[in-house]
Structure 1
Amino acid sequence: MTTRPENIHLITYDEDPSVHRDTSEELSFFHNVFSGNMEAIHKNCDEHRFMDSSGVGVLSSNPLTNIKYHMVVTAAIITRGCIQNGLESERAFRMSDYYIRRLDNATTLEKVEEIHNNMVLDFTGKMRLIKHKRGISRPVTKCLDYIYAHIYDRLTLNDLAEYTNVSSSYLSRQFNKEIGIPISDYIRERKIEISEELLRDTDESILDIACRLSFASQSHFIQAFKTTVGITPKKYRQQNSVKKWN
């Protein structure tokens, strides 16, 4: 029977007699994610704080379902908080969707914790890069923005120098100095990052992924992927695919 609005005050909420923990620790955790504090988040994960049920609301009588619900809540808060703090919205939502899809297939508490920790470290790492980016020069900032917006294209140093209105030698030198790696390595790593998503979440062939990301050839893509990730694209898909494609 549906509760009438005028009777809403008659509902009792005392099925769970436990007292919820103070929100200060939770707020500190989210602040550390949004500020890119990798050290604090690593410590949180190492101490298994997510799995500590003391003072945490009971959302389901099933322990596995309960912890999954809590992770979905965490993902929603982190996603929107990171967007408010500078993470590109579509990227944030895609990250959230990916981890929740993985969560859906988890069958043990240990697997849920692993997915949760990977998620919070991933978001925190992205936020750390954003905070770092705010302290770099305008040409390098424009270069990073251009790379992200055109990651599927074939990107050259000359194209980037022309877009940022500086010489290629200056841009190359400043990028390496401020970001810590050469432009070509940065582009390759971002392309490989996108290819990992495609390998996990789609049934696109390795050749199609290589072409989509403008690698010179399939063999070039496989070599670059193995150099960056440590295994071949085929092996990565076998180990990480959310859905076992036919």
Structure 2
Amino acid sequence: GDLMVKERKNFQRIYDLTERVLPSWVDTSTPDMGDVGRFLIHRALNAHGLARAKEIRDHIHLAEKNTIEAVLRDMVETEEVLSVKMENTDNMEYYLLPGTLEKTGARKKTNMRLELLSPFDNLVIQRDRLKRIFDFDYQLECYVPSKKRKYGYFMLPVLWGNEFVAKLDPKAKRASNLLLVKKLLFEPGFKDYDAILSPLSILLRQYALFNNLDGIKVEKTVPVFFKNMLQKSLR
């Protein structure tokens, strides 16, 4: 176009002539579908680590199914992308970048960071993939009627090291300036409650501080006995 947005001030767009906004060296030609497919594949695999063809397509919907699959075949043939199969996934074919294997091999198994993830994090955004690879059943239910919710209004996945260990439903109580832990649901089979207590307490304090809240109240945990353990640790 003749004009482009140069900047914004107080939410107002400020326009200028295109030649004064867009440098002349920028390539504005339309890329062919092969280039688009290669770009989207790299974006998806950098975000997810490894993914099936459908999951690559679902990451950003800008190319047709046949385009992604054709470019994937070419990239596998030139070893720009690797094709692998995982155990316990019905022999499904996954794709990853060569550097991903190197990073995985170099990563220490002792990394036990505890994280609260957004429902829109790349690791969890594709729920079927999450269930298949991590055996973690998760959904965002803030748009689901309360009587039909399985877990809670705004459940956040809890990642400990390389395992999903719990779901947390937090709520900011602004009137009392408290972070309310409405529900903390540990995954079936989880047993390391003593080990997770300290890092979880630290994480919740950080989360409360991030949301400008002074205190934390634990309302419900599964298993029940962990509620008193956690509340005592947070004092």
- Which TM class, normalised by the smaller chain length? under 0.3
Relative to the length of structure 1, the TM-score reads 0.23
Structure number with higher strand proportion: 2
Structure number with higher helix proportion: 1
Identify which of structures 1 and 2 has the higher relative contact order when contacts are C-alpha pairs closer than 8 Å and 6+ apart.
1
Relative to the length of structure 2, the TM-score reads 0.24
